């Protein structure tokens, strides 16, 4: 991340990031067109996020997101 444009400021694939539009944490899956694709820590559908609305996720936010996913899975019938 050297700050030379949207492509260079996006977190690396495999890392976790926050969609600043709504606060969701997701694993960076890659890029499609101008968007960064994110997926929730527990899996599910990817969503597109503009590069200027993505920031690296602090470890605490990643852990909270993972715990929410595990708890959600435990409630399934």
Sign of CA dihedral 7, 8, 12, 18: negative
Sheet strand arrangement including 47-49: 47-49, 35-39, 24-32, 16-19, 54-56
pLDDT surpasses 80 at 2: no
Between 5 and 42, the higher pLDDT residue: 42
Give pLDDT, residue 8: 52
Tell me the DSSP string of 1-67: --SSSHHHHSPPTTSEEEETTTTEEEEEEEEETTEEEEE-TT----EEE-GGGEEEPPHHHHHHHHH
User: Mean of the pLDDT values across residues 62-66?
Assistant: 87
pLDDT bin (cut points 50, 70, 90) of residue 3 is very low
Mean pLDDT, all residues of the chain: 85
């Amino acid at each position: 991340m050297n700050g030379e444009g949207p492509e260079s400021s996006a977190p690396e694939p495999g890392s976790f990031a926050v969609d600043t539009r709504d606060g969701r944490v997701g694993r960076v899956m890659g890029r499609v067109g101008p968007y960064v694709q994110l997926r929730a820590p527990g899996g599910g559908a990817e969503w597109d996020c503009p590069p200027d609305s993505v920031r690296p996720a602090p470890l605490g936010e990643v852990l909270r997101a993972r715990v929410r996913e595990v708890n959600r899975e435990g409630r399934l019938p």
